[in-house]
Amino acid sequence: MDKIAAERRNNRRYQVHLPLTYRISQKGFPPRTGTGTTRDLSTGGLSFRCRRSLPLGAHVELAIEWPAQYADAYPIDLQLTGFIIRSDGGRIGVRVTSHRFRVAEMPAQHYRVSA
Protein backbone atom coordinates (compact mmCIF):
# COMPACT_ATOMS: atom_id res chain seq x y z
CA MET A 1 0.00 0.00 0.00
CA ASP A 2 1.52 3.33 -1.00
CA LYS A 3 1.76 6.28 1.39
CA ILE A 4 -1.03 8.29 -0.28
CA ALA A 5 -3.48 5.39 0.00
CA ALA A 6 -2.52 4.90 3.65
CA GLU A 7 -3.22 8.55 4.58
CA ARG A 8 -6.84 8.86 5.73
CA ARG A 9 -6.96 12.65 5.99
CA ASN A 10 -7.99 14.80 3.04
CA ASN A 11 -6.26 18.02 4.15
CA ARG A 12 -2.64 18.66 5.10
CA ARG A 13 -2.08 18.88 8.87
CA TYR A 14 0.23 21.51 10.34
CA GLN A 15 2.05 20.94 13.62
CA VAL A 16 1.10 24.02 15.67
CA HIS A 17 1.17 24.36 19.46
CA LEU A 18 -1.06 27.27 20.50
CA PRO A 19 -3.21 27.91 23.59
CA LEU A 20 -6.95 27.51 23.19
CA THR A 21 -10.20 27.63 25.10
CA TYR A 22 -13.16 25.37 24.36
CA ARG A 23 -16.87 25.15 25.10
CA ILE A 24 -18.71 21.82 24.81
CA SER A 25 -22.44 21.66 24.08
CA GLN A 26 -24.27 18.37 24.45
CA LYS A 27 -28.02 17.87 24.58
CA GLY A 28 -29.25 17.20 28.11
CA PHE A 29 -26.04 18.41 29.80
CA PRO A 30 -24.87 21.86 30.92
CA PRO A 31 -22.15 23.46 28.76
CA ARG A 32 -18.56 22.72 29.82
CA THR A 33 -15.54 24.91 29.26
CA GLY A 34 -11.81 24.38 29.54
CA THR A 35 -8.39 25.13 28.14
CA GLY A 36 -5.86 23.20 26.12
CA THR A 37 -3.12 23.34 23.52
CA THR A 38 -3.33 22.56 19.82
CA ARG A 39 -1.20 19.73 18.46
CA ASP A 40 -2.00 19.97 14.76
CA LEU A 41 -4.65 21.51 12.54
CA SER A 42 -5.97 21.65 9.01
CA THR A 43 -9.01 23.17 7.33
CA GLY A 44 -10.98 20.00 8.05
CA GLY A 45 -9.76 18.96 11.47
CA LEU A 46 -7.87 19.74 14.64
CA SER A 47 -6.28 17.79 17.44
CA PHE A 48 -5.55 19.23 20.85
CA ARG A 49 -4.64 18.23 24.38
CA CYS A 50 -6.58 19.09 27.50
CA ARG A 51 -6.81 17.75 31.05
CA ARG A 52 -9.74 15.36 30.50
CA SER A 53 -11.50 13.21 27.97
CA LEU A 54 -14.44 14.89 26.26
CA PRO A 55 -17.70 13.30 25.06
CA LEU A 56 -17.68 11.83 21.55
CA GLY A 57 -20.14 13.48 19.17
CA ALA A 58 -20.46 16.64 21.28
CA HIS A 59 -20.51 20.03 19.57
CA VAL A 60 -17.43 22.11 20.42
CA GLU A 61 -16.54 25.78 19.98
CA LEU A 62 -12.83 26.62 20.12
CA ALA A 63 -10.92 29.91 20.29
CA ILE A 64 -7.22 29.58 19.43
CA GLU A 65 -4.86 32.42 20.34
CA TRP A 66 -3.28 33.25 16.99
CA PRO A 67 0.41 34.28 17.10
CA ALA A 68 -0.04 37.35 14.88
CA GLN A 69 -1.78 40.65 15.59
CA TYR A 70 -3.89 42.83 13.33
CA ALA A 71 -2.16 46.17 12.65
CA ASP A 72 0.58 45.05 15.08
CA ALA A 73 -1.73 45.91 17.99
CA TYR A 74 -5.01 43.93 18.02
CA PRO A 75 -5.00 40.25 19.14
CA ILE A 76 -6.47 37.70 16.74
CA ASP A 77 -8.30 34.47 17.62
CA LEU A 78 -9.04 31.64 15.22
CA GLN A 79 -12.57 30.53 16.08
CA LEU A 80 -13.61 27.02 15.10
CA THR A 81 -16.74 24.95 15.54
CA GLY A 82 -17.08 21.24 15.02
CA PHE A 83 -17.73 17.85 16.56
CA ILE A 84 -15.54 15.67 18.74
CA ILE A 85 -14.60 12.52 16.81
CA ARG A 86 -11.80 11.18 19.06
CA SER A 87 -11.19 11.48 22.80
CA ASP A 88 -8.49 9.45 24.48
CA GLY A 89 -7.08 10.54 27.83
CA GLY A 90 -7.03 14.25 27.04
CA ARG A 91 -6.05 13.86 23.37
CA ILE A 92 -9.01 15.21 21.41
CA GLY A 93 -9.81 15.05 17.67
CA VAL A 94 -12.32 17.47 16.14
CA ARG A 95 -13.97 17.50 12.72
CA VAL A 96 -14.14 21.22 11.90
CA THR A 97 -17.40 22.49 10.38
CA SER A 98 -16.61 26.23 10.36
CA HIS A 99 -13.73 28.58 11.01
CA ARG A 100 -13.08 32.33 11.05
CA PHE A 101 -10.61 34.84 12.42
CA ARG A 102 -11.82 37.35 15.02
CA VAL A 103 -9.95 40.57 15.77
CA ALA A 104 -10.19 42.00 19.31
CA GLU A 105 -11.86 45.40 19.66
CA MET A 106 -9.10 46.78 21.89
CA PRO A 107 -5.33 46.87 21.31
CA ALA A 108 -3.26 44.24 23.13
CA GLN A 109 -1.78 46.69 25.67
CA HIS A 110 -5.30 47.20 27.13
CA TYR A 111 -5.64 43.50 28.03
CA ARG A 112 -4.63 42.46 31.51
CA VAL A 113 -2.22 39.62 31.90
CA SER A 114 -2.98 37.63 35.03
CA ALA A 115 -0.24 35.85 36.94
**Model confidence over 39-49: pLDDT tens digits?**
999 989 999 99
The proportion of the chain whose per-residue pLDDT surpasses 90, expressed as a percent, equals 65
Task: Identify the sign of the CA torsion 61, 66, 72, 73.
Answer: positive
C-alpha 102/C-alpha 31 separation (Å) is 22
What's the pLDDT score for residue 114? Answer: 46
What's the pLDDT score for residue 61? Answer: 97
Three-state DSSP at 81 gives strand
In a domain, 115, yes or no: no
Q: How many domains does the chain have?
A: 1
CB 51 within 8 A of CB 90: yes
In a domain, 102, yes or no: yes
In a domain, 79, yes or no: yes
What's the pLDDT score for residue 8? Answer: 58
Domain span at 34: 3-110
The proportion of the chain whose per-residue pLDDT surpasses 70, expressed as a percent, equals 84
Q: What is the CATH number of the domain that holds 75?
A: 2.40.10.220
What's the pLDDT score for residue 106? Answer: 78
The overall average pLDDT reported for the chain is 87
pLDDT, mean of residues 48-68: 95
